[in-house]
Amino acid sequence: MTTDQQAATNRTDVEQDLEVLQRDGIVGRKGAFPRDFVERLREDMMTAFWSAIQRPGGTVNRGRRRWYVEAHPEQISGFVDLVTHPWITAVSEAVLGLDYRFVEVGFDVPFQGATYQPWHRDFASPRETYEEHQLTSLAFNLTGVDVTPDMGPFEIAPGTQWDDGRGWKHEMFPPKDAWERYASRGVRKFPQMGDVSARTALTIHRGTAHASPIARPVLVLGVVAGEVANPDEHDLAISRQFADQLDATARGHLLHRVVDELEPIVQRHDIEGLVMGEE
């Protein structure tokens, strides 16, 4: 099968998923990865967390007992498997075009005692989205555990990715008098180890109260259309040794810089409203 034929096959395989993503702002694929892959992934995430939490700027506070950590690709042992997975690459290509770029890998992790976040989106909606219903970025998520109702499941209001939002605080936080609308549409997600989802971070969502003693790390893989990729906002630092191990196709889809030595990441993407605006 030629490369063009394989790409056509991938697009056909995800056609229904793309319709759901366009309608709801989120879509999932069950059992995309084996459970042993996810067990290693969870270990990588928690190792990276305990390292990052000990240094200034190593984590981003996303609310009470809830953090985000951006990681180097080499800290995630299955990174290459993630960025070359047929479903992830097919969705990325179909939504964002042939020149899509992976720009960030990190993870959210709530612990016992995490509280509800305010309803929000992760950044201001670009004109292409609120006027033309065109997405310019996606986030792929993989849970590190089997999510249960007491683990502060992710809650999302399907279809709200098209809301304008220019009049909101930071263009990200709808006013409290609009929260009931999102709550009435809200759907809580209970993915299992091995499941993967694709979503636009513009769909209104929130983390919920986490009562379980088990932490719930979830990987976040950020990808954008080539024409909006901006290394001043995001890029991936990789070592020369790691770069040499990547094939040309995988390396070509990373917005990256090759460095002689990896340095600890100082987090750049704090969201003040998630700390100050809890219920």
Tokens of 132: 């033309």
Question: For 130-174, how does the pLDDT look when each residue is reduced to its tens digit (9 = 90+)?
Answer: 999 999 999 999 999 999 999 999 999 999 999 999 999 999 999
What is the 8-class DSSP label of residue 134? -
Q: Strands, E, within the chain: which ranges?
A: 26-29, 60-61, 66-70, 101-110, 137-143, 154-156, 187-188, 196-199, 205-207, 218-224, 236-239, 256-259
pTM of the complete model beyond 0.85: yes
- C-alpha–C-alpha distance, residues 72 and 76, integer Å: 7
Question: What pLDDT shows up at residue 5?
Answer: 43
- C-alpha–C-alpha distance, residues 139 and 28, integer Å: 12
Give φ, ψ of 227 to 5 degrees. Answer: -70, -15
Q: Which domains occur in the chain, in start order?
A: 3-276 (2.60.120.620)
Looking at residue 277, its amino acid is G
What is the biggest distance separating any 2 CA atoms in the chain, rounded to whole angstroms?
55
pLDDT at 275 > cutoff 80: no
Angle between helices 86-96 and 15-24 (to 10 degrees): 60
Question: Taking the CA atoms of the chain, what radius of gyration do you get in angstroms?
Answer: 18
Q: Are 18 and 135 in contact (CB under 8 A)?
A: no
- C-alpha–C-alpha distance, residues 9 and 77, integer Å: 28
At 53, the pLDDT band (50, 70, 90 cuts) reads very high
Q: Are 174 and 119 in contact (CB under 8 A)?
A: yes
Q: Are 29 and 197 in contact (CB under 8 A)?
A: yes
User: What residues have CB less than 8 Å from 254, skipping those under 6 apart?
Assistant: 73, 83, 101, 102, 236, 238, 246
Question: For 186-239, how does the pLDDT look when each residue is reduced to its tens digit (9 = 90+)?
Answer: 999 999 999 999 999 999 999 999 999 999 999 999 999 999 999 888 889 999
Q: Are 144 and 43 in contact (CB under 8 A)?
A: no
- C-alpha–C-alpha distance, residues 85 and 174, integer Å: 35
Question: What pLDDT shows up at residue 234?
Answer: 85
Question: For 88-126, how does the pLDDT look when each residue is reduced to its tens digit (9 = 90+)?
Answer: 999 999 999 999 999 999 999 999 999 999 999 999 999
| Residue appearing with tokens 């030595």 | 261
- C-alpha–C-alpha distance, residues 43 and 35, integer Å: 12
